[in-house]
Amino acid sequence: MDIKLYRQYLQEYVDEAIEQSNGTVQGIAERLHEKDVRGLFVLHREEKKRALIDARLGFDEHRHWPLDIILRHLGVTRG
């Protein structure tokens, strides 16, 4: 697995979920669960799947944490 690609997709998924949600941790978690990485010809499938799984877990397991702390825990930046 390419860690650089994984980090890139993790950042992309979290940014997209923040942008498309109401900004709450609950809303971001819901948007991440709507996202899907499927298809026969998906480029970098392993990195994308792992990034999405980790983003979902981060927001699901830590819903009681403030958003900035969850982002720091995942290693992503806001915006």
Run means of pLDDT, 10 residues per run, the chain, 79 residues: 93 95 93 88 90 95 92 88
Alpha helices in 1-79 (DSSP H): 3-20, 25-34, 45-61, 67-74
Confidence at residue 1, expressed as pLDDT on a 0 to 100 scale: 86
pTM (predicted TM-score): 0.89
Nearest to 61, CA basis, from 45, 73, 49, 50:
73
Could you tell me the residue ranges of all domains in the chain? Answer: 3-74
Confidence at residue 72, expressed as pLDDT on a 0 to 100 scale: 94
Confidence at residue 79, expressed as pLDDT on a 0 to 100 scale: 63
- 24 DSSP assignment: S
